[in-house]
Each structure stands twice: as structure tokens, then as C-alpha cells.
Amino acid sequence: SPAELEERFDATIAADQRIEPRDWMPEAYRKSLIRQIAQHAHSEIIGMQPEGNWLLRAPSLRRKAILLAKVQDEAGHGMYLYAAAETLGVDREELTEKLIDSRQKYSSIFNYPTLSWADIGVIGWLVDGAAICNQVPLCRCSYGPYARAMIRICKEESFHQRQGYESLLALANGTEAQREMVQESTNRWWWPSLMMFGPADGDSPNTRQSMEWGIKRHTNDELRQRFVDMTVPQAEALGVTLPDPDLRWNDERGAYDFGEPDWSEFKAVISGAGPANRQRLAHRRRAHENGAWVREAARAYADKQAARAEA
Ligand code: ACO
């Protein structure tokens, strides 16, 4: 009976066990997971663009090989995540259409342009660092396919974070101009990185329910704090200043106090008015249209195979 199914679902969540695709789940749970996983997948795919912008300008063969591997990893992450979303009964084609028509979101962070080579290092350090903070707890998400996809993704994100930091260390040990480039880039990426964690808890409509369902394990503000605490010593080691006059150690809390991100900027960026939103979506739409012949050919091939199997 429906009541029994719901009871079983609640018991699985309460026992901190996984919900699998064939299990009954409340419609709202399914919808919220599709929303989050699709947004996550879109972020990985759109996230290839700001870095792709530097592939042909990487300063050495070694840096180019690393960057290429990283951008390819992101395509792979997008694929795992679309596959995880498909276990919930949606179609990847449909999700891509929704992205292109701005009916589904992707992370605010990828709407900022990459203006200098240091941005590539800073994205690895701050953006992938923030992604790890946010994503490691998702390895314990209540939905099995999403949790399992996150394990591999997090391993690769750690490599991305390390490569970014290592490339910044090289610049920090370089010339004065290189150190200035790292500082300038840090100034631009710091606040957008803090916004990646989403609105403050009081303004986050989804957090409470997602935590009750074991989709999210921490609130947006908890993860933002964890990220700040982790990053401050890394900034010191690099010799850069984080652009926040309110940033200081709070002995009582055993954590850093920090300033408030500009939430009006965040709202503008997630509603399509960020510095690179139009460019990102236009590029994604063009790539999708240019790939139409591949999808058609794959479909024709599959139809032919099916007809042959029937004959
Ligand atoms: N960029 C774009 N949209 C955002 C962002 C952001 N940084 N933060 C929050 N939002 C959106 C939410 O999707 C939600 O919109 P919706 O209801 O239309 O879907 C709205 O703002 C309100 O936010 P919350 O209620 O806090 O939403 P939620 O509980 O889903 O938390 C979060 C947002 C933390 C991003 C969560 O969805 C999450 O952990 N997602 C998985 C990680 C992810 O997507 N990472 C992508 C970037 S990292 C990378 O790819 C390298």
C-alpha cells in the first residue's frame, strides 16, 4: 500500500541507507534530486568553457597537457551526472534542452570570464577547492547513483585543486609581475567562489527539506565557513591577500569571521545577467546544434541494428 511504501522510504532514510532507482520514492524527492543533479551536470559541462579559453594559450606543453586532462575530466563528470539523473526517469536530451532554454540553472561561478593565465590556477585553487568542500558530503547522499558518482568525481576534483595550487606556487615564486597577476586574479575570484555555496541559510528555500532527506548533509553557510577556514592558511602560504577587510580569526568560535558576499550580484548572475551568461549559453547552444548530425547518425544506426535483430 502507498502508506507502507512511504514508511519503508522514511525508514531507509532514517537508517542512513541508500535509496536506489527501483525503490519507491516521494515525487518531491525525485524532483528535487533531478533539479540538483541536472544543475550539477550542467555546471560541469558549462564549466569547460572558461578553462577551454586558455587551452591554446597555456604557457608550456606540460601546463597544456594538464589543462586538457582537466577539461576532459569535466566532460566526464557531466556524463556521470547526466547518467545518474537518467536513473530518475528523465532523458539527457530533455535536460540539455532545458539548459539551453534557461529552464534549468548551472553554477553562478562559470559566468565569470577568465582574463589572465593566473585565473586558471585560481580556478583550480578556489573554485575546485569550493567544489570539493561542497561535494565530499554528497558522497554520502541518500540517493545511491548520485552518491556513487560523487566518489570518483571528488577524487578527480582533488587532482584539479592540487594542479591549480601548484601552478600558483610556480607564479608566486616567479617575477613581481607574476605575483601581481595572482593577486589580481584572487581579488576577482574570491567573492564569486564564496557564492558557489548558495544563498545564506535564511534565504535558502531547499536546504531544510534536502537535509531531512539526506541529500544535503550540511547547510550552505556551514560549508562556506569550512571553505574559508581551509583556504586562509593556503592564501598565507601563497603570499596573497584575500580581498575581505572583515576576515579575521575568531578565537571564541575557533573559526574565521568574514564579510558578506554581495547577494545582489549573486541574484543577477543566477538570473542570467552575469558577465558571461549569454556567451556561455550561446556557445553551448551552438555546440549542441553542431552535434545534431552525430545524434542523428547514432539514432539511424541504432534503428538499423534493431531492425536487423527483428529480421
Ligand atoms: N549557482 C547557481 N544557482 C544556485 C547557486 C549557485 N552557486 N546556489 C544556489 N543556487 C540556486 C539553487 O539551485 C536554487 O534554485 P532552484 O530552486 O531554482 O533550483 C536557489 O538558488 C536557492 O538555493 P538553495 O535553496 O540553497 O538550493 P540548494 O539547496 O539546491 O543548494 C547547492 C544549492 C549548494 C548549489 C546545491 O544544489 C548543491 O550542493 N549542488 C551540487 C553541487 C553543484 O551543483 N556544484 C556545481 C558547481 S561545482 C563544479 O561543477 C566544479
Q: What is the pLDDT, as a whole number, of residue 311?
A: 82
Which residue's CA is minimally distant from atom 8 of ligand 1?
198
Kindly report the backbone phi and psi dihedral angles of residue 45, in degrees, each rounded to the nearest multiple of 5, phi listed first: -70, -45
Distance 150 CA to ligand 1 centre (A): 16
Ligand 1 within 6 A of CB of 205: yes
How many of the other CB atoms lie within 10 Å of CB of 141? 26
Pocket residue to mutate for ligand 1, from 107, 109, 139, most atoms within 8 A of Cβ: 107
Q: What is the pLDDT, as a whole number, of residue 170?
A: 97
Residue ranges of alpha helices (H) inside the chain are 2-14, 27-46, 48-52, 61-86, 92-100, 117-122, 128-135, 144-172, 176-195, 207-212, 220-238, 263-268, 277-290, 292-310
Pocket residue to mutate for ligand 1, from 39, 46, 134, most atoms within 8 A of Cβ: 39
Q: Are 246 and 258 in contact (CB under 8 A)?
A: yes
Q: Which atom of ligand 1 is nearest to the CA of 35?
A: 19
Q: What is the pLDDT, as a whole number, of residue 287?
A: 96
Which residue's CA is minimally distant from atom 26 of ligand 1?
204
Q: What is the pLDDT, as a whole number, of residue 145?
A: 98
Ligand 1 within 6 A of CB of 43: yes
Distance 37 CA to ligand 1 centre (A): 10
Kindly report the backbone phi and psi dihedral angles of residue 189, in degrees, each rounded to the nearest multiple of 5, phi listed first: -95, -15
Specify whether the backbone of 174 is left (phi greater than 0), alpha (psi in -120 to 50) or beta: beta
Q: Which atom of ligand 1 is nearest to the CA of 40?
A: 44
Ligand 1 within 6 A of CB of 147: no
Q: Give the C-alpha distances (Å, rounded to integers) separating 274 from 100, 190, 267.
A: 16, 16, 9
pTM for the model = 0.96
Ligand 1 within 6 A of CB of 210: yes
Q: And the C-alpha cell for 84? A: 545518474
| Residue 206 to residue 196: CA distance in whole angstroms | 15
Q: Give the C-alpha distances (Å, rounded to integers) separating 211 from 142, 207, 216, 220, 231.
A: 10, 6, 5, 11, 25
Ligand 1 within 6 A of CB of 141: no
| Residue 202 to residue 198: CA distance in whole angstroms | 11
Q: Which long-range contacts does 124-127 make (Cβ < 8 Å, 24+ apart)?
A: 124/70, 124/160, 124/161, 124/162, 124/163, 124/164, 124/165, 124/167, 124/168, 125/161, 125/164, 125/165, 125/168, 125/234, 126/164, 126/186, 126/189, 126/190, 126/193, 126/231, 127/189, 127/193, 127/196
Ligand 1 within 6 A of CB of 220: yes
Range 148-187 burial, b when 16+ CB lie within 10 A, else e: ebbeebbebbeebbebbbebbbebbeeeeebbebbbbbbe
Q: From first to last of its 311 residues, what are the pLDDT tens digits of the chain?
A: 899 999 999 999 999 999 999 999 999 999 999 999 999 999 999 999 999 999 999 999 999 999 999 999 999 999 999 999 999 999 999 999 999 999 999 999 999 999 999 999 999 999 999 999 999 999 999 999 999 999 999 999 999 999 999 999 999 999 999 999 999 999 999 999 999 999 999 999 999 999 999 999 999 999 999 999 999 999 999 999 999 999 999 999 999 999 999 999 999 999 999 999 999 999 999 999 999 999 999 999 999 999 999 88
CA gyration radius, the chain:
21
- The reply to whether ipTM tops 0.95 is yes
How many residues would you count in the chain?
A: 311
Ligand 1 within 6 A of CB of 105: yes
CA 131 to chain CA centroid, nearest Å: 6
CA torsion, points 202, 203, 205, 206, in degrees to nearest 10? -80
Distance 290 CA to ligand 1 centre (A): 29
Between strands 248-250 and 255-257, the pairing is antiparallel
